[in-house]
């Protein structure tokens, strides 16, 4: 059921009671080392000269392994099957969904939407999309998944180091934005008033459908925004989380965050059909 239209890519919603997790996290099936890229301890350059939120600087990180792909519906389903976890969207009925015809940055709050029906029941489920990234899950839900799977999210810096793969331009492929279509599922339409499937996908695409970055990581730009841990400043509210890399919804004219430096902000209990995650261990 459609409730109301809202102009809010980054919504503010309310906090519900904490979900109690099983005491013993178990490894998520299918997550083997071949699905990860190892990044070595070292000092790396991140940020962009003159960028207000993400200025050019050096950061030091320890070794970490980051998933080659975004976490899929199939992987999230195993978590739910093992724990009977209820996502924020299922409990709060606050998920934000999209359909063509909406103005820029306008989304619809849909009480029927959650990860199995990421754009609402009327727009179909994920039965044939089990290899697509899971969406309509909140940062809060993702932390629960990570605890169960014995993994974690990348920090803002780790995500960018992995995304850049040693590059220092706006994109891991240089500064020519026109090449984005080789690497990312994004929105190519001038606006969101009419559908755009010109790259094969209007909503999410199966993970690894486009070319990877030089380190073998897929969908670092586009497909879904990827949540990261960390704050942009110490005073930032604990109800705000950050996500990077842009999504299928993002276009050149609206939220062109499919790059190596931009950082979005989202309430930790908000659920959108263009938000997902990849894991680190
Ligand atoms: Ca697309």
The predicted-structure confidence for 244-262, as pLDDT tens digits, reads as follows: 999 999 999 999 999 999 9
**C-alpha of residue 124 to centroid of ligand 1, in Å:** 18
Residues in the chain, how many? 281
Over residues 38-83, the pLDDT tens digits come to 999 999 999 999 999 999 999 999 999 999 999 999 999 999 999 9
The percentage of residues in the chain with a pLDDT greater than 90, rounded to a whole number, is 86
Pick from 77, 85, 73: nearest CA to 22: 85
17 DSSP assignment:
P
- Can you list the positions of beta strands (E) in 13-73? 36-39, 42-46, 57-61, 64-67
**C-alpha of residue 189 to centroid of ligand 1, in Å:** 9
Q: Hey, CA dihedral for 158, 159, 165, 170, is it positive or negative?
A: negative
pLDDT at 18 over 80: no
Count Cα atoms within 13 angstroms, Cβ side, for 164: 19
**C-alpha of residue 197 to centroid of ligand 1, in Å:** 5
Separation between Cα atoms, residue 224 and residue 206, nearest integer Å? 11
Over residues 95-106, the pLDDT tens digits come to 999 999 999 999
**C-alpha of residue 224 to centroid of ligand 1, in Å:** 11
Over residues 108-167, the pLDDT tens digits come to 999 999 999 999 999 999 999 999 999 999 999 999 999 999 999 999 999 999 999 999
pLDDT band at 32 (very low <50, low <70, confident <90, very high): low
Separation between Cα atoms, residue 129 and residue 131, nearest integer Å? 5
**C-alpha of residue 130 to centroid of ligand 1, in Å:** 18
On average, the pLDDT of the chain sits at 91
pLDDT at 191 over 50: yes
The tokens for 113 are 């939407």
**C-alpha of residue 200 to centroid of ligand 1, in Å:** 6
**C-alpha of residue 100 to centroid of ligand 1, in Å:** 12
pLDDT at 209 over 80: yes
Separation between Cα atoms, residue 269 and residue 13, nearest integer Å? 6
**C-alpha of residue 247 to centroid of ligand 1, in Å:** 9
**C-alpha of residue 227 to centroid of ligand 1, in Å:** 20
- Longest Cα separation, the chain: 50
pLDDT at 2 over 60: no
**C-alpha of residue 188 to centroid of ligand 1, in Å:** 7
**C-alpha of residue 166 to centroid of ligand 1, in Å:** 27
**C-alpha of residue 198 to centroid of ligand 1, in Å:** 6
The tokens for 74 are 């199939």
Percentages (nearest 5) of helix, strand, coil residues in the chain: 15, 20, 60
**C-alpha of residue 118 to centroid of ligand 1, in Å:** 16
Domains detected in the chain? 1-21+66-281 (3.90.1580.10)
Q: Are 244 and 68 contacting, i.e. CB atoms less than 8 angstroms apart?
A: no
């Amino acid at each position: 059921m459609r409730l109301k239209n809202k102009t809010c890519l980054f919504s503010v919603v309310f906090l519900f009671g904490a979900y109690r997790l099983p005491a013993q996290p178990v490894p998520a099936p299918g997550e083997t080392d071949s699905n990860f890229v190892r990044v070595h301890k070292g000092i790396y350059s991140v940020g962009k000269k003159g960028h207000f939120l993400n200025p050019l600087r050096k950061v030091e990180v320890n070794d970490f392994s980051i998933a080659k792909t975004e976490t899929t519906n199939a992987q999230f389903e195993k978590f739910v099957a093992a724990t009977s976890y209820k996502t924020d969207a299922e409990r709060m009925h606050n998920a934000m969904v999209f359909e063509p015809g909406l103005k820029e940055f306008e989304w619809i709050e849909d009480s029927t939407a959650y990860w199995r029906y990421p754009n609402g029941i009327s727009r179909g489920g994920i039965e044939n999309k089990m290899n697509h990234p899971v969406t309509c899950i909140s940062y809060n839900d993702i932390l629960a998944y990570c605890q169960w799977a014995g993994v974690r999210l990348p920090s803002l810096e780790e995500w960018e180091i992995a995304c850049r793969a040693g590059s220092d331009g706006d994109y891991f492929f240089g500064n020519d934005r026109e090449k984005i279509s080789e690497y990312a599922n994004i929105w190519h339409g001038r606006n969101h008033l009419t559908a755009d499937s010109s790259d094969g996908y209007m909503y999410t695409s199966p993970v690894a459908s486009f070319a990877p970055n030089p380190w073998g990581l897929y969908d670092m730009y586009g497909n879904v925004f990827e949540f990261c841990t960390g704050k942009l400043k110490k005073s930032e509210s604990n109800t705000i989380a950050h996500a990077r890399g842009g999504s299928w919804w993002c276009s050149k004219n609206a939220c062109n965050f499919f790059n190596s430096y931009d950082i979005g902000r989202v309430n930790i209990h908000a659920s959108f059909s263009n938000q997902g995650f990849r894991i680190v261990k």
